[in-house]
Structure 1
Amino acid sequence: MKKPAFPLVSATWLRDNLQDPKLVLLDATIKKATATNASNADVSYIPNTRFFDLKGDFSNPETTLPNMLPTPNAFEDACRKLGIQQDSHIVIYDRLGIYSSPRVWWMFNVMGFEHVAILDGGLPSWVEQGYPTEHSFTPLSKITEGDFKANYQPNFVVTKEQVLSVMHNKDVLILDARSAGRFKGTEPEPRTDLKGGHIPNSVSLPYTEVLNQGKMKSEAELQNIFSRFDLEKKQLIFTCGSGITACIILLAATIAGYTKLSVYDGSWSEWGLLGDMPIEC
């Protein structure tokens, strides 16, 4: 296998390496929280795809908050059932371009696994190139159980308590991936039980700003976007509605060359629900 240009690979790279025995291809599609139709119900898949159940096997069942990280043991077990080995090379895509795939890329990094990349542009990019598709996933019955081992990296995740303790720290910046209207509290939240507004001292960076027609913008474009913030040597915490689009702007920051990056896993689904959290509009 030709070494992929982590964290993104092109449709052409994937086509050229699709039959490599070490490649594990995962579809991690979920419906957008703000979607009003079933546009993500597409039933086409790239050949040899396995389904990464982000809302099921790979979410924590012990909480009512959406999309929360599972325990390392649960993540490890679910990965093994997908046939993921310690020497696997994972490529993740979704059917919306780039939406939920960065979340899964981040999850693997949290679990200490670095041989993972995202298909830039997702399934639409694959189809645009005229490459073949199938109408079913690879069945689990045809998959040999893997030996994946989770090695949890706590520095990649922060809790509400940690956010509360650092939100006034000048060496920390919190970036919010929701729309500007949701950030300001002028647009309703898709979850009606949540308040409007944002975490004090956080800044707005809607995830759509780092994308161009479903693909990630270039490194130079991303560096220009982040240059408008004072990020020198700061710890960056990313948040959004439920921890999905926060990972898109974290991915963008990674490509732009920034380090010390983490995600507030509960995001606004937790902060905007609790009655005693400080909120600005």
Structure 2
Amino acid sequence: MKNPIVSTKWLNEHLDDPDLIILDASQQVNQAKVESQYQDIQIKGARYFDIKNEFSDTNSSLPNTLPSADAFAKAARNLGINNDSKIIVYDSLGIYSSPRAWWLFKIMGHSTVWVLDGGLPEWVKQAYEVEKIKKLDYALGNFVSKFKPELFKTKEQILVNITTKEAVLIDARSQDRFLAETPEPREGLRSGHIPGSINIPYTDLLHDGKFLSKEELEKILPQDNKPLFFSCGSGVTACIDLIAYELIENKNPKAIYDGSWTEWGQIESLPIE
């Protein structure tokens, strides 16, 4: 399967696949201030993928920062993940934080990973099996990271790109934040956007917690032959925009600016529009 997403129907039919591991990448709090109505249940057999703690560099001053390859591999092994595991990630908001988990596996060199379209809300809607959230210990996996640095961009590379225009920088934040019409949800950040970036709010790519069809996405997403860099508030929803481009089979190189606006917006020497 080249497609980065799978349906709830597909997952329900493959629950007994011995190599399949289901990961719940839900976040307890999010900057969108959206609360899930499914706080205490999970898809049967799911394992909790803790983006904020286990799968971020908690020593960084920025939220959701990419962990080291070794730290990621250790946390993945603790969840019982192997190099040949087929991984399905979901979250409790439909599509929100699960694409970040998908991208983390991709940058660590693991290709057999997919996002559950519609997430837990769609799973519940289809009346598939759920259970109370439970914390379990798993037999140690053998996962090894094979880090792909080309999928990651730093503020220095973004700064250079403002001049060279080598890549198109896409900002997944809401339009009012992009245009500095509303204050940033995180205190101490300037308002506005990175010069030359274009705004494609991640919410425009979704309907009822699921991705729009390929045909609908093609009408929204601009395309040319340049590489694509993706940014947002803290590197989470940028991954939604990236997956949308994968869904229209866009072959351009794609990378996430991990620091995103939380980094850029607090450094006075960096230019903004």
TM over 0.5: yes
Q: Does 1:187 align with 2:160?
A: no
Calculate percent identity across the aligned residue pairs: 45
Aligned residue for 1:277, secondary structure, equals coil
Say if 2:31 is the partner of 1:33. yes
Contact 1:48 1:137 in 2 (8 A): no
1:26-175 → structure 2 map (5 Å cutoff): 26-30=23-27, 31-35=29-33, 38-39=35-36, 42-137=39-134, 139-140=136-137, 143-175=138-170
- The 3-state SS of whatever aligns with 1:263 is strand
Please state whether the residue corresponding to 2:42 is helix, strand or coil.
coil
Q: Which runs of 5+ in 1 are unaligned?
A: none
Query: Aligned partners of 2:54 and 2:67: how far apart in 1?
Result: 8
Superposed CA RMSD in Å reads 1.3
**Separation in 1 of the partners of 2:42 and 2:88?**
13
Which whole-Å CA distance do the structure 1 matches of 2:151 and 2:70 have between them?
17
- Distance, in Å, in 1 between the alignment partners of 2:155 and 2:134 is 37
Count how many residue pairs are aligned between Structure 1 and Structure 2. Answer: 271
Are 1:18 and 2:15 an aligned pair?
A: yes
Q: Which residue of 1 aligns with 2:265?
A: 272
Q: Does 1:224 align with 2:222?
A: no
Q: CA deviation at 1:221?
A: 1.2
| In structure 1, distance between residues paired with 2:170 and 2:180 | 16
CA deviation after TM superposition for structure 1 residue 130, in Å: 0.8
User: SS of the residue aligned with 1:186?
Assistant: coil
Change (3 A) 1:40 1:106: farther
Residue identity matched to 1:234: K
Q: Which runs of 4+ in 1 moved over 4 A?
A: none
- TM-score, normalized by length of structure 1? 0.93
Q: Structure 2: which 5+ residue stretches go unaligned? A: none
Q: Deviation string for 1:191-210 (max 9, x for gaps)?
A: 01111000000011000011
TM-superposed CA distance for 1:34, in Å, is 2.5
Deviations 1:29-85 (A, max 9, x none): 0122130x6436611100000000100010002211000000000000000000001
Q: Distance in 1 between matches of 2:146 and 2:197?
A: 30
Q: Distance in 1 between matches of 2:23 and 2:134?
A: 9
Kept in 2, the 8 Å contact 1:171–1:233? The answer is no
Q: Name the amino acid aligned to 1:218.
A: S
